[in-house]
Amino acid sequence: MSTKDVTTGHQQSDSINHNHSNSRGSSSADASITSIALRLYWMIGWALPLLLISRVAFDKTTSGAMSFTLYLALWISMVAAKYVDVFKLKGSTADGKPATASHFYQYIIQTLIFFLILALASTVFKK
């Protein structure tokens, strides 16, 4: 059975008009859950992995290169999560405004400085 669209005057099939009512979940709900999970990770979720990496990095048996690699891997995962949140999921700032490329680049610089200082400290102050 088909119906006529009032706004355009075109014929449409009923199967198209049902808005996929038989799908398991809405894509907007999935996107919001993903957005929340990513946002929690790049804001605070990285703290536990950081503590574990720091525990290993400050040990005398761990080389400086290994410490730096672990910190770099954590930093890359944080930046990737922030990238997806800002550019793919249209993330927002704490004020509720849309996040921009400027916010993303500022985050990269701030976290990079933090991780470089931490990597240097773990090399200098071994147990």
Tokens of 2: 């088909």
CB 46 within 8 A of CB 74: yes
Please report, in tens digits, the pLDDT of each residue of the chain (127 residues total).
555 555 555 555 444 444 444 444 556 666 688 888 888 998 898 999 999 999 888 888 888 888 899 999 999 999 999 999 999 988 888 898 999 999 999 999 999 999 999 988 888 887 6
CB 125 within 8 A of CB 60: no
Report domain extents, the chain: 26-124
Q: What is the pLDDT of residue 76?
A: 95
- At CA 32, angle to CA 31 and CA 35, rounded to 5? 85
Q: Return all residues near 4 (Cβ < 8 A) that are at least 6 apart.
A: 10, 11, 12
